[in-house]
Amino acid sequence: MSLSNLIQNWNSFRTRRPYEGQYEDAPYKWAMVIDLDSCIGCNACTVACYAENNLPVVGKERFGKGQAMHWIRIERYWGADEAKATEFPERGAEYLPMLCQQCEAAPCEPVCPVGATHHSPDGLNTQVYNRCVGSRYCSANCPYKVRYFNWWNYPDRAWPNPLELQLNPDVTVRSKGVMEKCTFCMQRLRAGMDKAKTEGRILADGEVLTACAQACPTSAITFGNWADKKSKVARMWKNQQVDLAKNSQEKSEEGIRGYRILEDLNTYPSVVYLERLRNLEA
């Protein structure tokens, strides 16, 4: 992508998303639901992501500088108000798997000076490594802090021989100076979509999973094709009364758990979380 091309086609990069009926005719729109009442905080998803996506281990010093490369992480909160009110976290901890929310109106996208981060037709917020010039503006603009910058040339050091033999050949190993992030395991999606296309069909529900969803011992993560209204993920969104194109959700009754994180920033995330439950009578 040249700069002139970028300027000429600026409008295609600045499409206002989401809009009504955006995915009506699209074969795919990838989305996720994470049930916080099922998530046990075990880190199976995070390790699975390291294994699938060639994430480098950065070591203690760099981790301490905030240079960890975990595309999905488990955030652990104590529930600020509760912890202050009582001495102990008597309702347990709050575990939050945080990964790129694949926002429809992603704050990272318009600020990229070279169009390295852009929206794909199947609703993913993608990062094109060989366009990225490392301005890091996208990361600064991301409210979820799920973009990770390669401060070092990890291929030189992160996989001492023979650890590099484990690297997934379907996933680029990123070099110094580029930004990276969760892709919803795009390599799996790509392979699956190509296979389905060859066979003249669209992917069946559950045929392709992200590495995190596949590993999750409690099946807290549901992943699928939101454009397919019969998919589990689409039915869950509907059941939880979350509208992709709205920035606040009206619920028909109390007790419907679906919500999107920092939705009022108009990011229109593709990840719905289901509220954590606690039996307060216990």
Partner 1 sequence: MTMSNLDRRDFLKVLGISGAAATLAGCGHTSIESGVEEVMSYVNPQDFVVPGIGVFYASTCAQCGSGCGIMGKVREGRVLKLEGNPESGISGGKICGLGQAGVQAHYNPDRLRTPMYQGEGGLTPVSWERAHQILEQRLGPNSPLKGEQIAFLTGGVSGHQRVLLENFLETFDSTHHVAYDALSTATGRAASKAILGAEQPLWNIHKARLIVSFGNDFLGNGVSPVYMARQYALFRKAPRGTLIQIEPRMTLTGGNADRWYPIKPGTEGILALGIAHDLLQHEEFSKGVPQEVLDLVKNYDRDAVSDITGIGSDAVRLIAAQLWNNSPSLVIAGPSVEGHSYGFSNAAAVQLLNVILGNRGTTMEGQSEHPFPQLTPVLGNYQALVDLNQKMASGQTQALLIYGTNPVFTAPSHLPFAESMSKVPFKVAFVTHMDETAGHCDLILPLLSALEDFGSHVAEYQPEGVEVMLQQPLMEKLYPESKGYGDILLSVLKKRKPEAYAGFPDYYSYLKTAMVKAKPVFKVSDSDDHFWEDALRNGLVKWDGKPTSLESRLPALTMPKPAELATDYPFYFVPSIRPDMRDGRHAYLPWLQESPETMTTVVWDSWVEMHPKMAEAMQIKEGDILQIQSATGSVRAKAYLFPGIQPDTVSMPLGQGHTQLGRFATGVGVNPYKILDPIFDAHTGELAMHATRVAVRKTGEYQKIVKDEGPTTFQGGQKLVATLPADQAKLSKEI
Select the span of 22-30, 50-58, 112-120, 149-157 touching partner 1 (CB under 8 A): 50-58
Residue 96 touches partner 1, criterion: CB under 8 A: yes
Sign of the Cα torsion 127, 58, 212, 39 reads negative
Tell which positions 98-137 bind partner 1, by CB under 8 A.
Answer: none
Residue 38 touches partner 1, criterion: CB under 8 A: yes
Tell which positions 132-161 bind partner 1, by CB under 8 A.
Answer: 143, 160-161
Q: Tell me 186's DSSP state.
A: H
Using CB under 8 A, pick the residue from 3, 5, 10, 75 that binds partner 1.
75
Residues in contact with 278: Cβ distance below 8 Å, sequence separation at least 6, in sequence order: 91, 92
Question: Which pair of tokens denotes residue 17?
Answer: 């998303």
Residue 217 touches partner 1, criterion: CB under 8 A: yes
Which is nearer to partner 1, 53 or 102 (by Cβ)? 53
Distance separating the N- and C-terminal Cα atoms of the chain: 59
Which is nearer to partner 1, 19 or 77 (by Cβ)? 77
DSSP bridge pairs for 98: 73
Q: Closest approach of Cβ 251 to partner 1, in Å? A: 11
* CB-based burial label for 41 (10 Å; 0-12, 13-18, 19+): middle
**Residue for token pair 């039996």:** 279
> How many whole angstroms separate alpha carbon 251 and alpha carbon 235?
15
Question: Which pair of tokens denotes residue 10?
Answer: 């600026």
Which is nearer to partner 1, 102 or 118 (by Cβ)? 102
> How many whole angstroms separate alpha carbon 182 and alpha carbon 23?
22
Using CB under 8 A, pick the residue from 150, 214, 267, 270 that binds partner 1.
214
Which is nearer to partner 1, 15 or 218 (by Cβ)? 218
Task: Name the phi and psi angles at 6, rounded to 5.
Answer: -60, -45
Q: Closest approach of Cβ 209 to partner 1, in Å? A: 10
Residue 200 touches partner 1, criterion: CB under 8 A: no
Residues in contact with 258: Cβ distance below 8 Å, sequence separation at least 6, in sequence order: 33, 236, 237, 239, 240, 241, 242, 249, 272, 273, 274, 275
Which is nearer to partner 1, 69 or 138 (by Cβ)? 69
Using CB under 8 A, pick the residue from 216, 221, 242, 272 that binds partner 1.
216
Residue 204 touches partner 1, criterion: CB under 8 A: no
Cβ pair 126, 183 in contact under 8 A: yes
Residue 265 touches partner 1, criterion: CB under 8 A: yes
Tell which positions 237-256 bind partner 1, by CB under 8 A.
Answer: 239-240, 253-256
Residue 94 touches partner 1, criterion: CB under 8 A: yes
DSSP bridge pairs for 94: 77
Select the span of 14-22, 78-86, 106-114, 120-128 touching partner 1 (CB under 8 A): 78-86
Q: Closest approach of Cβ 195 to partner 1, in Å? A: 10
Which amino acid is it at 40?
A: I
Residue 173 touches partner 1, criterion: CB under 8 A: no
